[in-house]
Amino acid sequence: MGIFSRMGDIINANLNAALEKAEDPEKMIRLMIQEMEDTLVEVRSATAKCMAEKKERARLLKRLEAQQIDWARKAEVALEKDREDLARGALAEKTALGDRIDYLKEELDEYESQLSKYDSDIGKLQAKLNDARGRQRALVMRHRSATHQLKTRKHIYNDKIDEMLDRFDSAEKRIEHIESEAEVLAMGRQGRTLDEEFRNLERDERVEAELAELKSRRNKDAE
């Protein structure tokens, strides 16, 4: 594909539409950027060549204009010397140079027009390239974010994680069982303490009863 056709396609390209249709948008944008960079290099190279040719034509124009002035002077000198034949020859050279000068001026106008077009195309192409690079950075960030999310979700739903959670559940159940046993034991100890208090209370009552009976007998004996 020629440089101007390719550049026109790039400048008029709808990046959004192209990326939406691409199976691999990241690869597509990378190829687009590479194509734009290559085209930009070619356009700048063509611009540099055009500028060099323009400068060469401009230098040639100055030389021809100087020669034209010189032939005009020679024609005047020839007439002063009554050499009309030489004057006619000098004017013929001057006229021929004039034709070449006119052609060179047209060429220079074309070079100027071409350089202006190159400058415009480079600006548009650079803008497209900047846009593509910005989209590439956004795509890379989105791709990395999506990749991290995918890894995280895979990790969450990984069988190993489920197995670990099951182990946590089992451990939690074992701990709850141990805690329940400890509570039962504590309740048993509390029950035995109450029983002991009641037995002690009953024993104390018997002791008091026996003591009262003993006192009563002693009082009777004393009478």
pLDDT, tens only, 47-105: 999 999 999 999 999 999 999 999 999 999 999 989 999 999 999 999 999 999 999 99
Provide the pLDDT for residue 99.
Answer: 95
The HSE-up count of residue 127 (CA atoms within 13 Å, CB side) is: 9
How far apart, in Å, are the Cα atoms of 189 and each of 179, 186, 193?
15, 5, 6
Mean of the per-residue pLDDT values of the chain: 79
Same domain, 101 and 181: no
Same domain, 31 and 74: yes
Same domain, 110 and 9: yes
Question: Is position 167 within any domain?
Answer: no
Contacts of 28 (CB under 8 A, 6+ apart): 18, 19, 22
Do the beta carbons of residue 68 and residue 98 sit within 8 Å? yes
Tally DSSP H helices, then E strands, for the chain. Answer: 5, 0
Quick check: 1 pLDDT over 50?
no
CA–CA separation, 173 vs 178, rounded Å?
Answer: 9
Question: Is position 163 within any domain?
Answer: no
Same domain, 146 and 36: yes
Provide the pLDDT for residue 87.
Answer: 93
Q: Which domain holds residue 182?
A: 176-223
Same domain, 26 and 96: yes
Question: Is position 165 within any domain?
Answer: no
Provide the pLDDT for residue 169.
Answer: 72
Residue 114, both tokens: 């071409």
Most confident of 30-34, 147-151, 171-175, 206-210: 30-34
Most confident of 27-41, 105-119, 178-192, 196-210: 105-119
Same domain, 36 and 111: yes
Provide the pLDDT for residue 201.
Answer: 76
The pTM of the full predicted model, rounded to 2 decimals, is 0.55
